[in-house]
Amino acid sequence: MAENKTANRILLVEDEFNIAKLFQYNLTKAGYEVTVGTNGREGYEIAEKIMPDLIISDVMMPEMDGYEFRKKLLTNVELKKIPFIFLTAKGEEDDILQGYDLEIEDYIIKTSSPKVVLAKVAAILKTLEKERSKVVDEVQKAADTMGVRVVPDEFPKFEGFEISHWHQPHKNVPGGDFIDYIKIDDDNLVVVLGDTMGKRWGAWYFAIAYAGYVRSATRFVLESTKEYKPSDVLHKVNESVFKDERISEVFITLSVIIIDRKNKILKYSGAGDLPLFYKSSSGVQSFISKGLLLGFSHSGEYEDHELQLESGNELFLVTDGITEARNSAGEMYREEGFIEFLSKVDTSEDTLEQIKKELFDYTAGEFEDDVSVIKIKAL
């Protein structure tokens, strides 16, 4: 069989050493990246870490058998989407039917020849790739037809500040992250970063809906008050979302910043979001909002934070595609890793490009989610 150039990641869960070695050898030889677990409990822990493209699991195993392992995977929103194959020494009809009741893709008998095993694996992964390509086409056609962009093509021009962003959609499919810049007047600019829950392509449609809510709420708040407060925008968005049955159960994190150009003051409020990272001559600080996810409660308890910016200071808004990025060993980058990196970057060079290189190096370009970063620099 021709070598698999895409290096799909396979999790093999098998307690019999010789069988595990045989399958691992044949799959690796075919070009797949194979990680082995010895029982369902260990397999689940590995699956959480590496998010494989395919799981092959024995049925009869100690501690947690294959059926219990599969049932546990089905309780996890992300892991249940990974195609699953049962590996068994049995060929009885009852065992096979029980497996299909657990939404598996196929069965492989342990005594099958390597050619049969590889053919089944390749067929499943090829089908998934076709489905993904079809989804990409559908989403991109929808985006073109609607003339909608959830991430602007250009950066805003705002005197006294340099504002830019980096957005990397998961597997190049328009996803659930959205970025927006709303200019109130020559002295005030609203910066928005949102992330809808979930990595599947449908999140893109919800991102559009939420982006629309944020814009409408922002306009409403700005028209009804002279005091520009991010928390007021969040309260208004949350109120609208909570009442809307269509998207009230699709939770979102949202960061809203209003920049006062004249006074170089930045006001920030967030809903279930990550910390805002602030780099100055004294080091890197993080500011966390305690506001609830949008749509989670009628009262989101949103509060404003205020920062006085000085020339050269930089501020970063990120989605969890940054902090939850993983390396080849399955280790998360984490907020601590991002803070450590920011403390070392050279601000005389393009910080955003340095962040991009850091993440590509850390993940080898394999991202598990949309990645979005907004940089705001006081000049």
Give the residue from 142, 164, 179 where a domain finishes. Answer: 142
- How many angstroms separate the Cα of 94 from the Cα of each of 90, 91, 100, 101? 10, 9, 10, 11
Tens digits of residue pLDDT in 99-118: 677 888 888 888 888 888 88
Residues 132 and 153 in one domain: no
Q: Is the distance from CB of 257 to CB of 191 less than 8 angstroms? A: yes
- Residue 134: which of 79, 80, 173 has the closest Cα? 173
Domain-terminating residue out of 94, 121, 142: 142
pTM here is 0.67
Neighbours of 145 (CB within 10 A): 8
Strand order in the sheet with 252-260: 177-185, 188-196, 252-260, 265-271, 305-308
DSSP letter (8 states) at residue 264: T
Residue 169 domain flag: yes
**Phi then psi for 300, rounded to 5 degrees?**
-85, -10
**Same-domain check for residues 59 and 156:** no
pLDDT values of the chain reduced to their tens digit, one per residue, 379 residues: 334 445 788 999 999 998 899 999 999 999 999 999 999 999 999 998 888 989 999 988 999 999 999 999 999 877 888 899 988 876 555 666 676 778 888 888 888 888 888 888 988 888 877 776 666 566 566 555 544 567 888 999 999 999 999 998 876 666 678 898 988 889 999 999 988 765 454 555 666 666 667 777 777 777 777 778 899 888 888 887 777 766 656 677 889 999 999 999 999 999 888 889 999 988 999 988 888 888 778 877 899 999 998 999 999 999 988 998 888 888 889 999 999 999 998 888 899 999 999 999 999 888 878 899 999 999 9
- One domain, residues 363 and 293: yes
Q: What are phi and psi of 60, to 5 degrees?
A: -90, 110
What are the Cα distances from residue 284, in Å, to 148, 267, 291, 309, 340? Answer: 35, 18, 22, 13, 8
**pLDDT tens string 236-286:** 888 877 777 666 566 778 899 999 999 999 999 998 888 899 999 889 999
By residue range, what is the domain housing residue 17?
9-142
Whether 117 and 168 share a structural domain: no
